[in-house]
Structure formats: C-alpha cells, structure tokens
Structure 1
Amino acid sequence: MRSAGAMSRKPVHAQEHVLAERKRREKISERFIALSAIIPNLKKMDKASILEDAIKCLKELQHRVKALEEEVAAKTVESVIVVKKSQLATYDGTSSSSDQSSCNQNDQRLSLPEIEARVSGKCVLIKIHCEKRNGFVSKMIDEIEKLDLTVVNSCVLPFGSSTLDVTILAQMDVGFSLKMGDLVRNLRQALLDVM
C-alpha cells in the first residue's frame, strides 16, 4: 500500500509543478507585453528584441539623466563674493583685515558697506547693506546698468535708523564680461563716491 500511495502522489505533485510553471510563463509573457508597450520605436515583438530595445532605452535614459544633472549643476550658484565692513579689498587683489572688535561706532560709519553678488545662469543677485544717503539707489542702479546689466527688480528696506538693506536682481546683457570680484569692486567704488 505504501508504494501505491507514493505513486499516486507523484503524478499529483508533477501536475502541480506543471501548473506552477504555466503560471510563471504566463506572468513572464504578461511582463514582456507590458515592457513592449512602454519601449518607444519597438519594431520586433519577440522577447530577445524586446529585451535588447529595453536595454538600449535604459542606457539612453541614463545618459540623458547624466546630461540633465550636469546641466543643473552648471545652473547652480557659480560664485559668491562678499566685501564686509571688516575687510578692505584693494584693487590689486590683496586684502587687509582690521579687528572688528577694535572699531568704535564712528569707525564703522566710515567703513566700507557690505556687498554680496551671486550669479546663477544669466541672473545676478546683488545685496548691499550700507548707510542711508539721498540718491543712493538711483546712483547704484545707474552704475549697475553701466556694467551691461539690466535691473529686473530692486527692493530697498530701511534697517535701523541709519542703514539700508538693498537687494537688486539684474540680468546679464550680451556685453557683460566682468568677474564677480570686479563687479563688487566697481559697485563698492560707486557707492563710496555717493557717500
């Protein structure tokens, strides 16, 4: 009896195995159909061609992702230059720092303004923190436009009773060729002329 029971189990087990294999093949076929539906310009519908075109498509997408990542990296902020009250940048590119703690209020009023310039693509963001002066904003906008920049937007906020916080967004014109350090120096000099 034992051998008859074992023999009857084998065909049942084999039948289950055949059904499981059939389901597995059906799933694979369904997945190939789904894959063939999303591959562009697929010409042949056999499994080898579908896999080959899918691999090509994935490689193209990887190259496209890499190119887009490089493009995004190039569009990020390229440079930041800051001239602070405690630092005097000279025209030959050297700099000298003074101890800010030793400055009293009168020295700070005579010290340089803070100027920051950032570039992203063709846009330039200029931030200036300086003393209040009549005609300062119009003079600064004139100077910016002389440097082949077009002012897109500006915002002037009073900061305390005697200082201004100015933010200017400008677009580079075709003739713009300054480095950010030169731009900051030119703006600082124009600001000193107004003050």
Structure 2
Amino acid sequence: MTAVSDLNNTLNEMDEASVLENVIRYLQYLQERVDILEEQARKPVVHVKKSELVVDDVGSSSSEQQSTPSIEARVCDKHVLLRIYCEKRKGILVKILGEIEKLNLGVVNTSVVPFGSSFLDITIIAEKEKEFSLAVKEIVQSLYNVLHRAA
C-alpha cells in the first residue's frame, strides 16, 4: 500500500480504502485501454507489392522485380501509418509527401532511413483531414503510382 501511495502525492493523507478505490479505478482504466489497443491491433494491414498490383506486366525483368517498392499502411482512428521501402531517387520524398497532401492527409511525422547505398526506408505518420474519404488500399495504390512514375 505504501508503494502505491508514494506514486501519487495526493494520496498522502488518504486512508487505505481510498487508496484501494483509486487503484481499482486505475486498473479498470488500464483494462479499457488494453481492450482498445487489442481491437486496433486486429484491424487489417494493407501490404502491397508491385506483383500484387500489376498482373499484366509481362515485360518486367527479375532485377526490376527486386527493386519494386513495398508499401504498408495502417489506420488507427484519425491517423495513418505508412511504411515505404523504395529505391533512392532524387526528389522521391518530396513527391511522396506531395501525394499524401493531395489525399487530404496532413503529415505529422516523417522518418527516412537510407538502407544501403540505393534504398530508402520511409515511415510517415499522417492525420486524416475532414475531406479524407479513401480506403487504405486506395492510399497505397496512389503512393505506388507516384513511386512507379518516379522510377
């Protein structure tokens, strides 16, 4: 009991029943939070590679297939998490961020990590704006089109 009351300065003069009541309420809050996070974790993830999007691309070579961009998207409430693995090209990040803005998503955070000398691992967190109305697969398709045009 003493350890619990030390965590919260307002508990200094409370009796044990009050401390227990606060602990129970906090545990209930934590359980509700776990339930919400578990529900969000069950939501589907869209992971799209070129071979899944373009079936009729007969003329592609195996080296082209290896440098295919990989795009993963997750939605959680008003936020969209995007993970993009693509070839390093001049201006590619600007094009990706521009496309995200066109999709009525506001960029909250961006992380770009070079992988080797010719690839990028890009992580973007974006927030849905009021006008946003696309499905996750449409976001991925739009970004794939931008990456394909830049190649």
What TM-score, normalized to structure 1? 0.54
Q: Give the CA deviation at 1:83.
A: 1.2
8 Å Cα contact 1:117-1:125 kept in structure 2 = yes
Question: Who is 2:53 aligned against?
Answer: 89
Counterparts of 2:108 and 2:42, CA distance in 1 = 18
The answer to whether the aligner puts 1:127 opposite 2:91 as a matched pair is no
Q: Which one of the candidate residues 103, 106, 119 is aligned to 1:147?
A: 103
Bigger mean CA offset, 124-133 vs 76-85: 76-85
State, as a whole percentage, how many aligned pairs show the same letter.
Answer: 39
Number of positions where the alignment pairs a residue of Structure 1 with one of Structure 2: 131
1:185 is aligned with what amino acid? Q
Question: Who is 1:177 aligned against?
Answer: 133
Structure 1 residue runs without a partner (length 5+)? 1-36, 41-63, 91-95
Q: Give the CA deviation at 1:65.
A: 9.7
Structure ranking higher on relative contact order (CA contacts 8 Å, 6+ apart)? 2
Q: Give the CA deviation at 1:174.
A: 1.2
Structure 2 residue runs without a partner (length 5+)? 1-16, 22-28
Question: Who is 2:72 aligned against?
Answer: 116
CA RMSD of aligned residues (A): 3.3
Q: Give the CA deviation at 1:81.
A: 0.7
Q: Is the radius of gyration larger for structure 1 or structure 2?
A: 1
Deviation readout 1:115-170 (Å, 9 max, x if unpaired):
00011111111001111111100110010011111100101111111111111111
Question: Who is 2:120 aligned against?
Answer: 164
1:79 is aligned with what amino acid? P
8 Å Cα contact 1:77-1:120 kept in structure 2 = no
